[in-house]
Amino acid sequence: MPEDAHLTAIFARNTDPEEARLEAKEINKYLLAKSLFDCREFDRCAAVFLPDSLLAGVLKTKGETTTTGTPKSKGKQAASAAVESAKLPRLSQKSLFLALYAKFMSGEKRKDEDSEMVMGPHDLGTVTNKQLRIVGRFLSNWFEERETDDEEILGSQGWLEYL
């Protein structure tokens, strides 16, 4: 039997050298995030790799700049332009999956808390997971960065496709 036949997925060797380097660099943070996830501390788990300040900067698109053309908004426009040039963080796919899945689970938990416990007049099923837009936009940006001309994703291991 191979030496690593009984290792869990986190400790198994990765065949992609870039992913293996990123995973080795992030192992301590990954274990912290995974233990927070196991304790159902989803917001804290996601914040280990993707703090809200980083997500806000990465998720801005060119269409979301300020709409007012007044001179007072020059500072805001300059800040928006700086944010637009922000790149996605360099994280392993396992770490990114854990952070984004925790973000999704956080939204599900909050959605359940916001809906009424007993069916009532305000429980119309209109409460939605507000984290879906964030997770979806982050994933679309991640896939756009790595898509080739023939619509293949470079180095994909299936973690993020699952989401």
Q: Are 76 and 110 within one domain?
A: no
Instruction: Say what the pLDDT of residue 147 is.
Output: 76
Nearest to 36 by CA among 28, 50, 48, 25: 48
76 lies in a domain? yes
For residue 135, give Cα distances in angstroms to 47, 69, 87, 99, 152. Answer: 13, 31, 16, 10, 21
Within the chain, what is the greatest distance between any pair of CA atoms?
A: 70
Count of other CB atoms within 10 angstroms of residue 142: 21
Domain that residue 123 falls in: 17-50+90-162
Instruction: Say what the pLDDT of residue 87 is.
Output: 75
**pTM score > 0.75 for this model?**
no
Q: Are 121 and 134 within one domain?
A: yes
pLDDT digit string, tens, across residues 18-41: 888 999 999 999 999 999 999 999
Q: Are 157 and 106 within one domain?
A: yes
37 lies in a domain? yes
Instruction: Say what the pLDDT of residue 127 is.
Output: 76
71 lies in a domain? yes
- pLDDT beneath 50, residues of the chain: 1, 62-63, 65-85
